[in-house]
Structure 1
Amino acid sequence: MKAILTAALLTATALPAMAFDPAAMNDTEKAAFGAAVRDYLMANPEVLVEAINAMEERRMADESKNDKLLVEQNRDAIFDDGHSWVGGNPDGDITLVEFVDYRCGYCKKVNPELEELVQKDGNIRFIIKEFPILTAESEMAARFAVSLQQVAGPDAYKKAHDALMASRGPVNLESLTKLAEEVGADPKAVIDRMNGEEVMAVLRANKQLAQGMNIQGTPTFIIEGEMLRGIPQSGMAAAVEQIRAAKEG
């Protein structure tokens, strides 16, 4: 059986594509070939692992290529939409964008690492985009954050953003009113604006951008031309340095 399989594989790889045609086999030959393949794989299961790994590598490469194309097609909306909070170093050599949901546990988990990275690096332009997808509290928190930025400016927004990321408590009118007071904003003005068109237009634009880029979860990061769907295993600092090195190279 193994000899049959080996001969078939050698024929398939050594000759032109049409030279090895399973469809041309008769029933007996097909049965023999199928049995040989099964016996070989049962005796050598590592071949299946190698094949699966190779397929996964190709899939990831294809996804990365497609993601780069999506970033290039949406550069203005990603990096210069005119409404997202922009911090870090506005003149940094690299831009990091985060799509965030304030009720997302992974977003909360990575936030301290992001803050430390932006502060220590000193050369990162950091953009935050509200993308509430999990709960009604996600939506309320996102509306509050956008409203706060429009009413009280970027400094108040960042203080509230950090507080929302650190909080494990409920998001409701009482907690948001208190938070607005803590960051020095007029609570009534912020709350009243939350359902206004100016705020909803921002969230619609973020949602449309995310849908166009097939972003379905948070956190999702865009660093220059690369999209990271989730927290990289190597850590954010390593990911930034790798992309920076590729950009400079």
Structure 2
Amino acid sequence: MIRLAPFALIGLMAAPVQAFDLTNMTEDERQIFRDEVRQYLMDNPQVIMDAVAVLEERNAANQENADLRMVEDNSDAIFNDGYSWVGGNPEGDVTVVEFLDYRCGYCRKAYEEVMELVEDDQNIRFIVKEFPILGQASLDSSRFAVATKLAAGDDAYEAMHDALMAYKGPTDTQALSRLADGLGLDSAAIVAKLDDEAVDGAIRSTHELAQTLQINGTPTFVFGDQMIRGYVPLKAMEQIVSEQRDG
């Protein structure tokens, strides 16, 4: 096989664009060039890893910029939809939003840390977006939680939300009614609200918002203007909140 000497390859690559036009190469020249490039990559595989790392950094930066724009463009629906539960400090200087599914393992893992963040900080406005995506049990749980809010208010919703984050039993109406009774809630009033259009309307609107924001997994967080897809440990959440305050 004919091979170009390294200095010849460097010269070829440094030549004017028209001299390096692959369309003007003969088939033999093109094959020689391919062989040289392949051999260079085989001899220097770290070049490939470096290129992949650069690509991943660019993709991450592009996604972050796109997320910033999407949050800005949909801020009212994210932060002031009028139906999602608002906890923590309603007047807090940083708003944290979580899209969650009660049957999501990572949502359950994040739950205690999110609660610790909100309780320790005391200046976070926390919003829960009911986003059931893992099947009928998820949908049953979210519908019952929303119905609880409609029937009995924010405090009752918070109690039901907390219970559902740990609950692993069946999610038929009878089973969830027993769960509500155990919390001292009026299960009959909650069940009566399950047929209210506002229940399915709230969940449907959240799904539509998630689609607009290109969210397809849980948990997904919005910290101020920053969207984070996936589980975030407590220390990282604290850092993000601090950065949001610093502007």
* Contact 1:100–1:130, Cα closer than 8 Å, also in 2: yes
1:216-227 superposed matches below 5 A: 216-227=216-227
**2:11 corresponds to 1:7:** yes
* Contact 1:143–1:195, Cα closer than 8 Å, also in 2: no
Structure 2 Cα separation of the partners of residues 148 and 202 of structure 1: 13
- TM-score (norm: length of structure 1): 0.91
1:238 aligns to what? 236
- Inter-CA distance 42–199: structure 2 relative to 1 (3 Å threshold): same
1:240 Cα deviation after fit:
4.1
- Kindly provide the amino acid, as one letter, of the partner of residue 63 in structure 1: Q
1:88 aligns to what? 88
- Kindly provide the amino acid, as one letter, of the partner of residue 40 in structure 1: Y
1:246 Cα deviation after fit:
5.0
2:110 aligns to what? 110
1:40 aligns to what? 40
Amino-acid identity (%): 44
Structure 2 Cα separation of the partners of residues 61 and 67 of structure 1: 10
- TM-score (norm: length of structure 2): 0.92
- Kindly provide the amino acid, as one letter, of the partner of residue 138 in structure 2: S
Unaligned runs of 5+ in 1: none
Structure 2 Cα separation of the partners of residues 204 and 73 of structure 1: 19
Q: How many residues align?
A: 243
SS at match of 1:108: helix
Unaligned runs of 5+ in 2: none
CA RMSD, Structure 1 to Structure 2 (Å): 1.7
SS at match of 2:102: coil
* Contact 2:224–2:244, Cα closer than 8 Å, also in 1: no
2:99 aligns to what? 99
2:136 aligns to what? 136
SS at match of 2:134: coil
1:1-249 superposed matches below 5 A: 1=4, 2-11=6-15, 20-232=20-232, 235-245=233-243, 247-249=245-247
- Kindly provide the amino acid, as one letter, of the partner of residue 96 in structure 2: L
Deviations 1:146-184, CA, capped at 9 Å, x for gaps? 000011111111111111111222222232101221333
SS at match of 2:214: coil
* Contact 2:100–2:128, Cα closer than 8 Å, also in 1: yes
Deviations 1:176-205, CA, capped at 9 Å, x for gaps? 101221333221121122132011111111
- Kindly provide the amino acid, as one letter, of the partner of residue 71 in structure 1: V
Structure 2 Cα separation of the partners of residues 159 and 182 of structure 1: 11
1:243 Cα deviation after fit:
4.9
1:26 Cα deviation after fit:
2.0
- Kindly provide the amino acid, as one letter, of the partner of residue 3 in structure 1: F
Structure 2 Cα separation of the partners of residues 201 and 85 of structure 1: 15
- Inter-CA distance 9–110: structure 2 relative to 1 (3 Å threshold): farther
- Kindly provide the amino acid, as one letter, of the partner of residue 214 in structure 1: Q
Structure 2 Cα separation of the partners of residues 112 and 228 of structure 1: 18
